[in-house]
Structure 1
Amino acid sequence: MTGTSETRPAGARDRDAEGRARNARPRDGLGRPLPYGAAGVERAPEGVVRRPGDTVAEAQALLDAGRPFHAHEVFEDAWKSGPADERGLWRGLAQLAVGLTHAARGNATGGARLLLRGAGAVEEWTSATARQRPYGLDLADLTGWARELAAVVERERGPVDAARAAPRLHGRTA
């Protein structure tokens, strides 16, 4: 996505077609806002209702491309639009993606905390439902990945490469 040379008057807010506040600033691959008019990456559209398999596939493609912030938005759509009994799963997956985002931005403390919080949410969801592979997701592997990455991030304190560190949602051997 490329930005325009558009500028905003002081105090003006971006609005969507329904008048809700929406930040229209372009963003980089890790979701950081760029100045109006700057070139950014295409954003995942917000508020899209997808089938669970489509959510997983789209999020994996974004993770593979080193865009975990955008994958988080895809998971957030599922969390907000999906069945109530699955919201903990999607929220946990969104937290994992945001944790990877913070780790890639160099925020070791926030990255590790969110990775561990997401791992706990995903693990809690599997315990509560006795489902280990909903929608083909390897939740045990994801939990292990998040805890391992959190330990690396806490130990090394530097940014990680988001694409290289990205999880395989269907498991490492899938």
Structure 2
Amino acid sequence: MTVDRDRDARGRAENARPRDGLGRPLPHGSAGVERVAARDRTPDEAIADAQGYLDREMPFHAHEVLEEQWKVAPQPERALWQGLAQLAVGLTHQRRGNTSGATSVTTRGADAISRYVAIAPHGIDVAGLLSWARALAAEPDGDVPVPALRS
């Protein structure tokens, strides 16, 4: 038996089910929340869009923006964008109650961005994000605020 899969314009598999604010799939026909529009973004636009999602308690959606940027970033910045995406995934796990996932993914994200602390590309508050990530990893079931990508 073959199952028809939702596909994007390039033919890649895509799940068109609506999602909640933390990215969990909802039943077909549910209202759900807005999806992240795939588009080319400058680094500044990606940071602003991701921060907007974080501020609205939608870290899964912030992750989607950051992941998209990671895939198009120049090689010297890819680990930065990947790490930022992982921090958003870590927060998503924390908000969903998955403390183990929150700790492991947040730690990986912090490790990835740590090499950028001295240069802080695009005005990203790498030092502040590292402090935030360490606090989340140390107490993933605590009251973790939304991080600021820029100071």
Instruction: Name the TM tier (shorter chain).
Output: over 0.9
Aligned-partner residue type, residue 89 of structure 1: L
Q: Which residue of 1 aligns with 2:62?
A: 71
Aligned-partner residue type, residue 114 of structure 2: E
Post-superposition Cα deviations, 1:86-128, rounded to whole Å, max 9, x if no partner, equal 10000000000000000000000001111111111110344xx
Post-superposition Cα deviations, 1:143-169, rounded to whole Å, max 9, x if no partner, equal 01000011111xx3x7x5xxx621011
Q: Which residue of 1 aligns with 2:31?
A: 39
Instruction: State TM-score, norm by structure 1.
Output: 0.81
User: Once superposed, what is the RMSD of the aligned Cα atoms?
Assistant: 1.7
Which of 68, 71, 88 is equivalent to 2:79? 88
Report the Cα distance in structure 2 between the residues aligned to 1:152 and 1:33, rounded to whole angstroms: 27
2:147 is equivalent to residue 167 of structure 1: yes
Report the Cα distance in structure 1 between the residues aligned to 2:129 and 2:10, rounded to whole angstroms: 37
Report the Cα distance in structure 1 between the residues aligned to 2:53 and 2:17, rounded to whole angstroms: 20
Post-superposition Cα deviations, 1:47-69, rounded to whole Å, max 9, x if no partner, equal x2211111111100000000000
Taking only the aligned residue pairs, the percentage that are identical comes to: 55
Aligned-partner residue type, residue 150 of structure 2: H
Q: Is the Cα contact below 8 Å between 2:116 and 2:126 reproduced in 1?
A: no
Mind listing any 5+ residue stretches in structure 2 that lack a counterpart? none
Mind listing any 5+ residue stretches in structure 1 that lack a counterpart? 1-8
Moved over 3 A (4+): none
Q: Which residue of 2 aligns with 1:24?
A: 16
Q: Which residue of 1 aligns with 2:107?
A: 116
Secondary structure class of the residue paired with 2:139: helix
Instruction: State TM-score, norm by structure 2.
Output: 0.93
